[in-house]
Structure 1
Amino acid sequence: MNHIIEKIKKTKEKGLYRELRYIETAQTPRVKIKEKDLILLGSNNYLGLCDDSRLKKVAIDAINKYGVGSGGSRLTTGSYDIHKELEEKIASFKGTEDSLVFNTGYMANIGIITSLCDRNSVIFCDRLNHASIIDGCRLSGAKLIRYKHCDINDLLDKINKYKGSNNLIVTDGVFSMDGDIAPLPDIVKIAKRHTIMTMVDDAHATGILGKKGSGTSSYFGLENEIDIMMGTLSKAAASEGGFVAGKKDLIDYLRNYARSFIYSTALSPSTIAVSIKALEIIEKDDERRVKLLKMSDWFQKELEIAGFNLIRTKTPIIPIMVGEADKAVEFSKGLLEAGVYIPAIRPPSVPEGTSRLRISLMATHSQQDLEEALMKIKLIGKQLKIIGG
C-alpha cells in the first residue's frame, strides 16, 4: 500500500489530484453543490435536454411498461423492442444502413477498435484523441502511430512510412478538450488513396453540428464517406450510451465480435426510451443548435476582449488556456467560491503545460447567466493575474 499512498501524495503536490463534487439538482444552467447556488459552465448537456419534461415523461412511461432493469446482456435476455427501435433511429439519423448501441462511448470505442484491428494492423491516431480511443488502440495489439494534432502532412508522412494490412485512421470529430473540428475532407481523401478504413468519434458533435445535428460528416457534406461512425447519447442527447453506425456487414460483425457489447448487461429500457425521444427532438429543433453556437461565438469574443488566452472554436466548448495545473485549479476554485462552476482540466487529460478551464455552454443558458459568469471570470482572472487588471 505504501506505493499507492506515495503516488497520491505526489499527485497532490503536482496539482493533479482529483476530487468529486456532488451536484444536488438537475443539470440545468444553475445548480446546487453543498447547497451553494452556482452557474454551471462545465456540463456536456449542450442542448439543455437533461431536465426536459418530454424526456422525463418517456422515461417514466418506459419504467411503467418494462420495469427498471434490462435483465441481461443484449445477446441473451436484455434486448427489448425499443433497443431495435433506437438502433433503427440512429441509423436513420446518421444516414447509414445499421447501428449498434453500447453501454457507454468508452465501451463503444474499446469494442469497435479491438474487434476490427489486430497485431497486423496499423492505426493512425490523432495525438489529441479521447482516452477511450487510445485505450482501444493499445488493447487491439495493433501498431499505434500517433500523428500531430489535425496535421494532414504529418498523417500522410506516417502513412507512407508505416505499412500494414487492415489499417485504420481514427479521429475525434470535435475534440473534447480543445473544441476544434477534425479536417475530415482531407482525411477521407488520404484514406481513399491508400485504401485505409476511417473512423470518427462524434461524441461532441452529435446533436450540435451538421444537418439536423447528425455530426461532422454531415457538417462537411461527407455523408456515407466515413466507414465507422461512433457517437454517444450522453451529451447533447441527454441520455446514456454509445453507438456505432455504418454498413450492415460492419454492424453484424461488431454484434458478434465486440466483447464490450457481448459481455455487458444491456442499458435499461427507460434509458433507451429517453435516447429515442431525444433524437426526435434534436432532428426537429434547429433553433437550439443555432442559439447555442451564436452564444458560444459571443462568449468567446467577450473573453478575448478581456485578454484571456483561448483556443477559438466553432463549437460550445471554450478552453481558457492557463498553463500550469496548480494555476488552473486555483482559478477553478476561485470561480467556485464566486458562484461559477468550471472544471480545471489537467494532465493526463491534456498535455503538460496546457492546463485549462474548459467552458461548455448549454442552449438553455440565459443572457443573464452568461453575463454574470463573464463578470466573475474576469474578476477572478484579474485577481490571479491571468489577465491584466
Structure 2
Amino acid sequence: MHTHPFDWLDEQAEARRRAGLLRTLTPRPAASPLLDLAGNDYLGLTRHPAVARAAADAALRWGAGSTGSRLVTGTTELHAELESELADFCGFEAALVLASGYAANLAAVTALTARPGTLVVSDAYNHASLIDGCRLSRARTAVVPHRDPRAAAGEFAAHGGPAVAVTDSVFSVDGDAADLPALARVCRAAGAGLLVDDAHGLGVLGEGGRGAAAAAGLAGDADVVVTATLSKSLGSQGGVVLGPARVIRHLVNTARTFIFDTALAPAAAGGALAALRLARAEPQRAARVREVARETARMLAGEGLQVCEPDAAVVSVRAPSPEAAVRWAADCRAAGLAVGCFRPPSVPDGVSRVRLTARADLTDAQLRTVVGTVAATAPRAR
C-alpha cells in the first residue's frame, strides 16, 4: 500500500510543534492598536504622508504593476531616477534596483563569483539571502567565525586565487556590526572583492544615514559592492545593488534574479524615492534612531535583562528557551506591544530572543512604555 506523498509534511509539522518552533501567519489590520517594535520601519517613513502619496501617485501614473522584467518593459523613468539618487546618496558610481533585498543579494553574490575558481568567504552569521547566494553561486564557500577578519585572511591565503568576502554590515539577530575597515584591509591584501549587505545600515549608519560603507570610509571604492533593501529605512519594498558602473553592467547582463524577475512595482519605487528624499532632507532621523536603540538597550539592561549592545537599530534580548521567547512575545502583544521573536533555525547560535527594532519617531514616553512592558512580561518575572 502506498502512503500519501505528502504525509511526511504532517510529521515534520508535529515535530516543530513539540519543539515550540511552529510558525504561523497572523494578518494585521490596517490600523493596528499595537505599538510596533517588530517591523523594520527604522526612520518612521512607511506611513509618512509624502511617502504614501508618492506611492499612490506612481501607481496612478504608471499602473499597479511594472508589466514585465527590467530588460523588457519593467524599467520606468521612476526606476532610473531612484537608482541615480540612491547611488548619489550612498556615494557609489551606479545602482541597480531589484524586486527585493533578497533578490539583490542573490544577484550580487552569483554575479561576482562567476569567474571559475572563485572563493567566497562568508561570515557564519550572515543573512539567509547571502547564504543562499553562496549556494546558488556553486563557488567554493568558506564559512568563517563571526566578525573574524583574521579567519578570512587565513582562507584567502590558503586559496591564493580570485575571492570575494561577503558580510552583513549589521547582523539582524543581535544587531552587532561587522568590522568593515578591518575586513576591507584583509580583502585588499589578498586582492579580493568585498560585498556588504547593508540592509540594516542604510538610513541608520553613516552621516545622515548614508550607510555602513560610508561610515567606514569605503563608499565608492572600486573593490566594494553594497546591497540593501528598500523595505526598512526607506519604508517601501525592493532591493538595490550599489557599486562601480562595470559591476552594475555585469549584473544587468548576468544576474538571473534581475533578468528573469518582474521589475519592482512603480508604487514601491515611488514610495522609496520619496522616503530617500526625506532621509536626505532630515538627517536627524538617522541620529534619532541610533539614540533610541542605545537608550532602549540601556534601560532594558537596567531591568536585569540580557541585552546585546546595539550598533544600529536592532535591540536583541535573550530568552531562556524557544517556548519562553514565544510566550514573551505573545505577552508583549497582549499588553499592546509588538516585538519580534527569533528562534532556531533562524538564529545561528541556537539562542532564542525577542527582538526590538528602534524607530526614529518613537517618543520618550513610548520608549518608557516599551521598556516597562518588556520587563514586566519577561520570563524571569513569572
Partner of 2:158: 161
- 1:243-258 aligned at under 5 Å gives the runs 243-258=240-255
2:355 alignment partner AA: R
- CA drift of 1:57 comes to 1.5
Preserved contact between residue 324 and residue 353 of structure 1 (Cα < 8 Å): no
Preserved contact between residue 309 and residue 321 of structure 1 (Cα < 8 Å): yes
Partner of 2:218: 222
2:14 alignment partner AA: K
Tell me how far apart the structure 1 counterparts of residues 349 and 15 of structure 2 sit (CA, whole Å): 15
- CA drift of 1:127 comes to 0.5
Tell me how far apart the structure 2 counterparts of residues 263 and 74 of structure 1 sit (CA, whole Å): 8
1:3 alignment partner AA: W
Preserved contact between residue 122 and residue 163 of structure 1 (Cα < 8 Å): no
Moved more, 199-208 or 348-357: 348-357
Matched, 1:54 2:50: yes
- CA drift of 1:352 comes to 4.8
**2:45 aligned counterpart, secondary structure:** coil
**2:17 aligned counterpart, secondary structure:** helix
When residues 352 and 198 of structure 1 are mapped into structure 2, their CA distance, relative to the original with a 3 A threshold, is closer
**2:171 aligned counterpart, secondary structure:** coil
**1:76 aligned counterpart, secondary structure:** helix
Tell me how far apart the structure 2 counterparts of residues 313 and 228 of structure 1 sit (CA, whole Å): 24
Identity in percent:
33
Partner of 1:29: none
- CA drift of 1:323 comes to 3.9
Preserved contact between residue 164 and residue 193 of structure 2 (Cα < 8 Å): yes
CA deviation profile, 1:128-174 (whole Å, cap 9, x unmatched): 01000000001110111111110122222222233433x10010011
Tell me how far apart the structure 1 counterparts of residues 135 and 160 of structure 2 sit (CA, whole Å): 18
Tell me how far apart the structure 1 counterparts of residues 207 and 365 of structure 2 sit (CA, whole Å): 29
When residues 65 and 353 of structure 1 are mapped into structure 2, their CA distance, relative to the original with a 3 A threshold, is closer
Tell me how far apart the structure 2 counterparts of residues 288 and 150 of structure 1 sit (CA, whole Å): 28
Partner of 2:109: 113
Partner of 2:29: 24
Which contiguous aligned blocks of 4+ residues in structure 1 show a shift greater than 4 angstroms?
none
Partner of 2:204: 208
Question: Where does the alignment leave 5 or more consecutive residues of structure 1 unmatched?
Answer: 27-31
- 1:1-389 aligned at under 5 Å gives the runs 1-25=6-30, 32=32, 37-118=33-114, 120-165=117-162, 167-225=163-221, 226-381=223-378, 384-385=379-380
1:229 alignment partner AA: V
Preserved contact between residue 43 and residue 285 of structure 2 (Cα < 8 Å): yes
1:111 alignment partner AA: A
Preserved contact between residue 332 and residue 374 of structure 2 (Cα < 8 Å): yes
Q: TM-score, normalised by structure 1?
A: 0.93
Tell me how far apart the structure 2 counterparts of residues 247 and 293 of structure 1 sit (CA, whole Å): 29
1:39 alignment partner AA: L
2:152 alignment partner AA: L
- CA drift of 1:76 comes to 0.8
- CA drift of 1:273 comes to 1.2
Preserved contact between residue 325 and residue 353 of structure 1 (Cα < 8 Å): no
Tell me how far apart the structure 1 counterparts of residues 56 and 328 of structure 2 sit (CA, whole Å): 40
CA deviation profile, 1:245-282 (whole Å, cap 9, x unmatched): 11111111100100000011111212111111111111
1:379 alignment partner AA: A
1:107 alignment partner AA: A
**1:10 aligned counterpart, secondary structure:** helix
Tell me how far apart the structure 2 counterparts of residues 138 and 19 of structure 1 sit (CA, whole Å): 27
CA deviation profile, 1:222-251 (whole Å, cap 9, x unmatched): 222352111111100001110111111111
Tell me how far apart the structure 2 counterparts of residues 263 and 353 of structure 1 sit (CA, whole Å): 36
Question: Where does the alignment leave 5 or more consecutive residues of structure 2 unmatched?
Answer: 1-5
What's the Cα RMSD here? Answer: 1.5
